[in-house]
Structure formats: structure tokens, C-alpha cells
Structure 1
Amino acid sequence: VARVRLTNSIEVTAYIPGIGHNLQEHSVVLIRGGRVKDLPGVRYHIIRGTLDAAGVQNRLQGRSKYGAKRPKK
């Protein structure tokens, strides 16, 4: 999870989907709605593969949800 300050200066908690991430303290991210059932207060998801959030490495199935490119043959 990550604490994210929105452009309207509200601070929210957002979930980072997938295994591992490259986000650091001042990374700029795009978020979408959608809560995480087993984490109280987490109502947003970070969209992988946009802005500073890189896609998940070695992801072969469900790639579009994790910003993973199609692997080379």
C-alpha cells in the first residue's frame, strides 16, 4: 500500500497490485477506485504501467491489469 497525495491535496491510501514495485517517495502515480476487501481504509488502486509505476515483471496472464508488455518469443 502507499499513501498518495491527490492533486486536490487530499491524502488517501492506495493499493499497489502485483508482485513487487518500483515506487519511491516522490513518484507520480495514476489511481483508480476500487477497494481492497481485507485491508480496512484502502479504497483506491494504483494503475501499473502508467507514469512512474512500472508494470509487473514476468507476468504472462492477465497482463493488461498489471501493465505488463507482451513477452518476446
Structure 2
Amino acid sequence: MATSNQMGANTRSKKKKKNLKKALLGCPQKRGVCMRLLTRSPKKPNSAQRRVAKVRLSTKRVIFAHIPGEGHNLSPFSVVLVRGGNVRDLPGVRYKTIRGVKDLAPVLSRTNGRSKYGTKRPKVHT
């Protein structure tokens, strides 16, 4: 058994947390320009065509960012705002675009979870 001196001298060092969103350089979001729009198919049990944009960030790094929601209005050279966030069934896609900001339009058909898709509250006529 270890003595009290040994316990104090050899304390365990904390494991450093790996930064998975390196392209954002510690910032919550970064602006980028779409270079190419493509669809990717997800990993094994799922089947779909996920919309992905190849984006050059303002830091000159090139990443793949997922475009959430149904439909989009992006084209090459559209300006988007990118945040961190994995798409679990798309390998290598670790970022998401933010709807309703810059050139990316909100999803207008949303009634629930509107804040994630940049949709305004619908007007209620009385």
C-alpha cells in the first residue's frame, strides 16, 4: 500500500480533453463560403441522402458542414454561418450550418423546434 508521501507526490494528472472542432479555433461560430454542395449517404443502418456543403471558413480552412432541415437555397459562393455539432451517421462531418442567418434561408414550414431552423413565430389571426 502507498504511503501518504507517495500519494501526495504522484497525483494523477488530468486527461486533456481533445478539441473536435479545431476549424472553429475555439469560437462558437465561424463565417464561411460554400464551395460545393453535395449529398452524402449515411452509415450502415440508415438510408437517405444528407445535404452537405463544402465550406471554406474565414480562417482559410475547408470543412464539410451539414445543412439541417428540409430543402435549402444554397448555391456555390453563398455565405453561411457554421457551428460545431456532429452528424452521427455521416463520417467526417463535424459541423452544421445555421439556418436563417446570412444567405441560408430558414425552414418556413416548421411549427415545432423553430429556433433550430431560424423560423419566426407564425402570426395568429383573431
Give the TM-score, by structure 2 length.
0.57
Residue of 55, 61, 67 corresponding to 1:4:
55
Q: CA RMSD in A?
A: 0.6
Q: Which residue of 2 aligns with 1:34?
A: 85
- The answer to whether the aligner puts 1:16 opposite 2:67 as a matched pair is yes
> Once the 2 structures are TM-superposed, how far is the Cα of residue 71 of structure 1 from its aligned partner?
1.2
How many equivalent pairs are there? 73
**For structure 2, which runs of at least 5 residues remain unmatched after alignment?**
1-51
Matches of 2:108 and 2:119, distance apart in 1: 7
Q: Which residue of 2 aligns with 1:54?
A: 105
Q: Percent identity?
A: 62
Matches of 2:99 and 2:91, distance apart in 1: 22
Q: Which runs of 4+ in 1 moved over 6 A?
A: none
> Once the 2 structures are TM-superposed, how far is the Cα of residue 53 of structure 1 from its aligned partner?
0.7
> Once the 2 structures are TM-superposed, how far is the Cα of residue 6 of structure 1 from its aligned partner?
0.5
> Once the 2 structures are TM-superposed, how far is the Cα of residue 58 of structure 1 from its aligned partner?
1.1
> Once the 2 structures are TM-superposed, how far is the Cα of residue 23 of structure 1 from its aligned partner?
0.6
> Once the 2 structures are TM-superposed, how far is the Cα of residue 20 of structure 1 from its aligned partner?
0.3
Q: Which structure is larger by alpha-carbon Rg, 1 or 2? A: 2
Amino acid in structure 2 at the alignment position of 1:65? K
Q: Which residue of 2 aligns with 1:72?
A: 123
Per residue, is there more helix in 1 or in 2?
A: 2
Matches of 1:13 and 1:21, distance apart in 2: 16
